[in-house]
Structure 1
């Protein structure tokens, strides 16, 4: 059965609704000291604000070992009335003081997708991996190899962090070329951080989903180029592959701290997209595309 795996169970994709396709409720990294997202009340308030703006679903891309607080997610889903999707997977090595054994990564990912995070928590519905800056190191290759094995075993989609938006072509060559993951199961993240229209069109022709996220990082070529990038891709016939996310990674970026936060997608970006491309395309990007991108034909694992 085709479904989106949320923290409260499998969901008919038609019920997902307006979706923040890439964000973080909880996150901890040695690269962001003192900026942890670790406050349950603040996470709950952000979800309330997003729902008040018209949001109905949030996909948390925080992977293994980065303070994702998976046990809190079902309660937050129930209290907010939003559909929440959790992630398994592994980020770049620099985000960890201690890494799990790389030889057992596929088994770890499969367990978190099918049994539950931590063995008794909610099941993940996404595998998060990461490339490097303009290339893939050995850690990235081994992590993506494990992610591909987990995809083939379960059907789960794979979301990719691209460092400053780079190395997406190399990721596709590895995941879809060598490791035979269908492009429609791959979500390429942070492409707004490297706003090269020619590369975006090349990536779109692969059939993968293209995620543009991070209005909390206005210094990273996000907002002021984002609309032009989306218009170019939609007008080239790739509107059905576009995704939007907030990618809130610090407490200061939350709406409750006067940052853009999750509601920004709907209060600021959506009206601009609708004005440029029409209400139908805005709804396509925020509602219908996530419903397809995060859906999988989940396979039983014995």
Structure 2
């Protein structure tokens, strides 16, 4: 039986329920903290919990927390939120993207990875297989030395480029995937370099049906999305509510184009809610309730008017597809 690994433990994939596929719940990214960017620090567990409770009140059941080790995650706080709210949370092993690696390694991590001053130093010093071993331990033993295990493995690349160290972490994550059978998640900066990532993953013999690519709506190009989807990969549209990047009409059009072309089984939806100003209980933002409470009714209306069954598509995007995407492949 396929299972999903939550921070609490493994569950049958059918128990995942309504799922946001890419969020951040409690994190203090050192890169942003060192630069005084307070908006990017989700540093109050109780405020984050209130937004998670809003999500639950509207029927939400699971959140994929995409926060990797280099983005200042607080594993214990996120686990506590899961226990106190009853919302299932999946944690993330692996890495983010290279510009973050100039930040100082938090002291609690040094006994685990070695006495490196920055993430860059650590990643540069280690071999691909040594980094893969670190990711494997986070999936099989626990994140950052806790008993709470990662449920997916992640890598990332920058805007219109892949640095040598990003390629290194991609290959490490690919090898960790083969060892653990954990699903793979990719950060694409502004939706770029997805096809180039795919070529590298193929060189590591990764089946693209086990991979989800984030931030696809940041690159609103239907042709590009089709090229990505033909590989069998999942496409994560996780910029809902971010009108500064594109209106909702653009995102909904992109989604319905993929549905029209037959790729409705490969779509994931979320908000990548990673700023205080996006959260309701930090700074009066739209919050984690926005997609489930307000965006979905609009999507259903537009999908129905376009000749599709909006309710069935919502079931796919938020229930069926996440259950398949985030399941371990044994």
TM-score category of the 2 structures, normalised to the smaller one: over 0.9
Distance 1:69 1:223, change over 3 A: same
TM-score of the aligned structures, taking structure 2 as reference length? 0.87
SS of corresponding position for 2:69: coil
SS of corresponding position for 1:46: helix
Aligned pair partner of 1:47 in 25, 47, 52: 52
Aligned length, in residue pairs: 297
Matched, 1:34 2:38: yes
Partner of 1:135: 161
Matched, 1:68 2:81: no
Partner of 2:231: 206
TM-score of the aligned structures, taking structure 1 as reference length? 0.94
SS of corresponding position for 1:180: coil
Stretches of structure 1 lacking an aligned partner (at least 5 in a row): none
* Residue 53 of structure 1, CA deviation: 1.6
Q: Distance in 1 between matches of 2:70 and 2:216?
A: 24
Partner of 1:181: 206
Aligned pair partner of 1:123 in 140, 149, 161: 149
Deviations 1:254-291 (Å, cap 9, x if unpaired)?
02222122211112221122221421111110111000
Distance 1:239 1:50, change over 3 A: same
Q: Is the Cα–Cα contact under 8 Å of residues 246 and 261 in structure 1 kept in the other structure?
A: no
Q: Distance in 2 between matches of 1:31 and 1:88?
A: 20
Partner of 1:280: 312
After TM superposition, where is structure 1 displaced by more than 3 Å over at least 4 residues in a row?
none
Matched, 1:191 2:195: no
Q: Distance in 2 between matches of 1:174 and 1:223?
A: 32
Partner of 1:25: 25
Aligned pair partner of 1:91 in 96, 116, 123: 96
SS of corresponding position for 1:296: coil
Range with greater deviation from structure 2 (207-216 or 108-117): 207-216
Q: Distance in 2 between matches of 1:181 and 1:240?
A: 19
Q: Distance in 2 between matches of 1:171 and 1:261?
A: 31
Q: Distance in 2 between matches of 1:46 and 1:28?
A: 17
SS of corresponding position for 2:262: helix
Stretches of structure 2 lacking an aligned partner (at least 5 in a row): 104-117
Q: Distance in 2 between matches of 1:120 and 1:161?
A: 24
Backbone CA RMSD of aligned residues: 1.4
* Residue 28 of structure 1, CA deviation: 2.8
Partner of 2:109: none
* Residue 216 of structure 1, CA deviation: 4.9
Q: Distance in 1 between matches of 2:286 and 2:240?
A: 7
Matched, 1:244 2:269: yes
Q: Is the Cα–Cα contact under 8 Å of residues 192 and 222 in structure 1 kept in the other structure?
A: no
Q: Distance in 2 between matches of 1:73 and 1:39?
A: 11
SS of corresponding position for 1:287: helix
